[in-house]
Amino acid sequence: MNKRIALVTGGTGGIGSSICRQLFADGFVVVANYIAAEKERAHSWQISERAAGRDVHIAEGDVSDYDSVVVMMAKIKTDIGPVSVLINNAGITKDGVFRKMPLENWMDVLNVNLNSVFNVTRQVVDDMLAEGWGRIINMSSVNGQKGQFGQTNYSAAKAGMHGFTKALAQETAAKGITVNTISPGYIGTEMLMAIKPEILDQIVSTIPVGRLGKPEEIAKLVSYLASDDAAFITGANIAINGGLHMY
């Protein structure tokens, strides 16, 4: 059997990089998407991954822009092949209390975190149906489950991702395609650098496990959901948050 192709959006970032490494170790052909503004960083990321023995591909495209995604996905299909595993991982924060939130911060977060899921998934689902096998994993957040002070935009987008998961899971369940959501808690990545240290310390003090999560811990869960063994899990939202939110 040919190796399956896995696409990780925002694949050169904190959690994305760990997911790429894990899926490569699992035997997938891995494609990491990045946005044009990160071109230089993405190229040096690829060089260091290759130096470490991981021959990963990179693909430029703005997941918040439908036309950009169409072009990127056509290129991936021609150059590498059809995608069988999609990790909708690209995400941003633009935190601020609602009464001070400019429209731009609402739109940007909804476009990158939620509309991207439509844009990218729409391009891969037909190939998965044709193959009779597929894995779609949406990287949401604990803050989509519980809401978070200062994140009306992010919480709305992340909650929306799981609504998408549940609906598409029903449409594809009989066709060999699973669709699931992972909801990480606070993970030690660059995204957390935007939080003031004193606020972050306060948040960490409320995590029962007593620490931030590690990107590798998220990647292991992605690995399982992407495997043949996880064929009976679909429409699920799996929390991985150190006990920060239990439901």
Residues that bind ligand CAA (CB under 6 A): 93, 95-97, 141-143, 148-151, 154, 185-186, 191-192, 195-196, 199, 203
DSSP string, 167-223: HHHHHHGGGTEEEEEEEE--BSSGGGGGS-HHHHHHHHTT-TT-S-B-HHHHHHHHH
Residue number of the CB closest to ligand CAA reads 150
**Minimum distance between the CB of residue 220 and ligand CAA, rounded to whole angstroms?**
18
11 or 242: whose CB is closer to ligand CAA? 242
Q: Are 14 and 191 in contact (CB under 8 A)?
A: yes
One-letter amino acid for residue 141 of the chain: S
**Minimum distance between the CB of residue 112 and ligand CAA, rounded to whole angstroms?**
12
* Separation between Cα atoms, residue 168 and residue 151, nearest integer Å: 26
91 or 134: whose CB is closer to ligand CAA? 91
**Minimum distance between the CB of residue 15 and ligand CAA, rounded to whole angstroms?**
9
- Please, which contacts does 227-235 make with residues 24 or more away whose CB atoms are closer than 8 Å? 227/26, 230/135, 230/178, 230/180, 231/176, 231/178, 233/178, 233/180, 234/169, 234/172, 234/173, 234/178, 234/179, 234/180, 235/165, 235/166, 235/169, 235/170, 235/173, 235/179, 235/180
**Minimum distance between the CB of residue 202 and ligand CAA, rounded to whole angstroms?**
8
Catalytically annotated residues: 154
User: Residue 183 forms beta bridges with which residues?
Assistant: 239
96 or 235: whose CB is closer to ligand CAA? 96
Please compute, for residue 107, the number of CA atoms within 13 A of its CA located in the half-sphere on the CB side: 4
111 or 148: whose CB is closer to ligand CAA? 148
92 or 124: whose CB is closer to ligand CAA? 92
Within 10 Å of residue 22's Cβ, how many Cβ atoms? Answer: 23
Collapsed DSSP state (helix, strand, coil) of residue 233: coil
**Minimum distance between the CB of residue 81 and ligand CAA, rounded to whole angstroms?**
32
- Helix or strand holding residue 48 (H, E): helix 39-51
**Minimum distance between the CB of residue 94 and ligand CAA, rounded to whole angstroms?**
10
36 or 149: whose CB is closer to ligand CAA? 149
- Helix or strand holding residue 86 (H, E): strand 85-88
